[in-house]
Structures are given as C-alpha cells and as structure tokens.
Copies of this chain bind each other. A is one copy, B any other.
C-alpha cells in the first residue's frame, strides 16, 4: 500500500500538517514532497529489511525522515538522544540496525552511519511501500532484567492507537496537536502517526518551554497537547491567563497526577485526561476524562475502544473488583513482541494478553487504578528509569559488591534515582560517579549515593527495594 503520508497528501493536499517555530508551516503535500525526496536519498543505503536507526531532535526534518522511512518499508529504530554512546551501541547491535541516520551534533559510533547533511548530498533511487502488518517503529525499554529490549510497533498498532484515542477524545478536522515530548518516545512518535491518519496538524516544539507553550495555549495555537506530570506542573507554575477555548484536551501521561494538581486543573478548567500506557501499547491504553477526574481521583480511566484490561493474581486467576493484582492488557494497539528476542516475547505474554508487570486494580465501575509501576520503575521528568539497569552498571565496577537503586521524591522531576552501594574495597564517590556517567544517560545518573554494609533482602535473597525507598523518602521529609 501507499504510505500513510502519501495517502493523506492525496486526501488533504492543502491542509496544514506541520507547524514549527514561529512562522514555518508545511501542508501535507509539502510534507510528502520532503519525505519523498529524503526516501529517495536514503534508498541507496538500504540493503535489507533490518531497522534503520534515527538519532534526531524535535525538528521538522525529523518528521520528514520518519515518514521517509515508512516509504522505504523498513522499521525505524528511534534512539533516545539522551543515552550514552554505549547505550546506543547496545541498541544498534541488538536490533541489527543496518544504518544510522543522525544529526551532526551527535557523536555516534557505528559501522554504517550517515549524517543528514551527507545524506542530502546523495543521489536518488526508487522507493518501496509498506503493508499495515509491517513493523513501523522500534523503541527500547528496560525491564526487570536490566537489559533493554526493542519494543516493535506495527502500523496496525499505531492505527489502532490513533482510532481508540479519536473515539475517546473526539476528532475535529481543524485540531492542532502540540508535540513538546520527544519524537523518539512513543508519546511523540504517535502524534506524528495521528496527524497523517486523522489529517490534522502537529505543532512541533524543539523542547518543552513552559512560557512558549503557555502563550500558545492562551492564543489558540493548539487544541490538544500531550504532557507528562512535570510538564503540567511547570505549566501551572507560569499560568496567569485563561487558555483559549480552541484548546480542548490535555493528555497526561507518565504516572498519576497528585490530588492537588487535579484540583487545580479543575478550578482552572484545564481539560486534563489522565492516562496509562507504555511503549508496548503504542501510547495511552486507558484514559480518564475530565468529567470523571475528581470523582475518581487517582484513577487512570478505562481502556480505549476496543482494548481490554484484566487484573490477575499470582496464581493466574482473575481478581475480583477492587482487588490488587498484575495488570494484563489486550487489543490491537498492543505490540507483537520484542525485536530479536523470542524468549522475552514469550515470557511477556499469556494467551494473547500482555503482562505489563504493573500492579493495580479495577473498581466496581471498571476504572483502572495503577497501584505501582512495574519493577520499581522510577519515572523522572517523563522518562522511565529501570533500577536494575543502573544497579547492573554500578555492580560492574570492580570495587563494588552490590547496589540497590530506588526513586526519591523530587519537586521538579517527580522522582530522581538514588543508589545504595555495598563496597568490596575503598572507593571514592567521584570515581564511582564518573564510571557511571560514561555508561548511562544523564537522566539515569544517581543524584545521591548511600554507602552501606548490606542491602535489605527477603527470605529468597531477593532485593527488597521497597525498604530502601521508604528509608530515602522518609529521610527527605
């Protein structure tokens, strides 16, 4: 089939599809021309159906690159640009990426890499197209094991996510979706997909600048925005004017909002839709409407049509209402598995249901309450941080016996990682810290170290992070 952008350009050629900066706009026809040109430039580099990695920032050019790769029928591996070079190297190897396309500012080391500037000076060639069941995009997330895994999103997944969202929040042909979240996260990438599927414009921001976004919300320059809790807090901090009535929906992800925030939004008539989702569900999977927000404080809403949720106990049986268990999800937006990792895929699914690892319950009206994010997940400024990944790096230092990492509450970031470390021999904290910073992205760097003689473990010898978390958060009160 033709690419989604190609079809959209045929359907709505003169509709604006992208706003960026103060004055720059592109119609869907212009976007398609840009993407087609890039696709023709990339095509000569393509040798297989393995992924092509993108290492980019939130630029219009990145939007065109993403669509260009859809025209060539290769999955795109979206590299988180905050990672360390070692982390990038892991993902490139694990995904068997055939090529990296990168912005010049990034110092990527890879066998086959081409900068966008070099690409733009190449020659042209014919291009291919995709089928809906093809893998469209890959994003790596870590799990309990600490090894990042490549989550595959098919075109069908993205399509189902886009339709479920539209049936929930409505679809207005003149909508403008504001994208200040990274394109390499599912939250940002999915906005680009919705844009071509719905035929609506994206307003792209290079970064989250609360004053700029506040002004756009007041001036009616966007109708929908996706944010994480810390972004919402920053918006509330600068809010001094009513938002324009054209603005109709704020999708809030990245952990539940605290009660005071929900109430402030209600008082200020900010249409907040709290949501729960993950890379594996191609973005939001459940959403709570503003109408229910105060009545169901702390809830994450109901699954988007036609997704399904069930809560399962440790014996694999369905939990009754209001009983906590593991959250299982099923539906057309759920990933078909992890790239090149049949074992991880097999253990993540149970009869077609994805075991999220998150814990929660459904109340008597079917609203989901997420009690605890999976595997002691730390959510810091919207980024997911998996303790096991950081612990694994710390423990790899020869002077370290073992480590335990937990989230400490933080006004600005929601949570920040803190490391408990048991040493084998004397080690300077600075030395340890620089060992870690070489190997991990900045947002994963521990903000505090606690050196201790032993870590709390349960009878089976398993680390009990909950105790460390209680300790560190008690300290801070």
Contacts of A8 in B (CB 8 A): 305
Which residues 146-177 of A have a CB within 8 angstroms of B? 159, 163, 166-167, 170-173
Complex contact B166–A11 (CB within 8 A): no
Q: Does A4 contact B (CB under 8 A)?
A: yes
Copies in the assembly, this chain: 2
The one of B2, B166, B303, B306 that contacts A167, using a Cβ cutoff of 8 Å: B166
Bound CA span A303–B1, Å: 13
Complex contact B1–A306 (CB within 8 A): yes
Complex contact A305–B132 (CB within 8 A): no
The one of B1, B7, B159, B302 that contacts A10, using a Cβ cutoff of 8 Å: B302
Complex contact A10–B366 (CB within 8 A): yes
Complex contact A170–B172 (CB within 8 A): yes
Bound CA span A306–B130, Å: 12
Bound CA span A11–B291, Å: 13
Contacts of A366 in B (CB 8 A): 10-11
The one of B173, B198, B308, B365 that contacts A7, using a Cβ cutoff of 8 Å: B308
Contacts of A414 in B (CB 8 A): none
Complex contact B306–A4 (CB within 8 A): yes
Q: Does A197 contact B (CB under 8 A)?
A: yes
Which residues 1-40 of A have a CB within 8 angstroms of B? 1-2, 4, 7-8, 10-11, 13
Complex contact B305–A11 (CB within 8 A): yes
Complex contact B332–A199 (CB within 8 A): no
Supply 30 A–B pairs (Cβ within 8 Å), ascending by A: A1-B308, A1-B330, A2-B308, A4-B305, A4-B306, A8-B305, A10-B302, A10-B366, A11-B302, A11-B303, A11-B305, A11-B366, A132-B306, A132-B332, A159-B163, A159-B306, A163-B163, A166-B166, A166-B167, A166-B171, A167-B171, A167-B197, A167-B199, A170-B170, A170-B172, A170-B173, A171-B171, A172-B172, A197-B306, A199-B305
By a beta-carbon cutoff of 8 Å, the part of chain A in contact with chain B is: 1-2, 4, 7-8, 10-11, 13, 132, 159, 163, 166-167, 170-173, 197-199, 302-303, 305-306, 308, 330, 332, 365-366
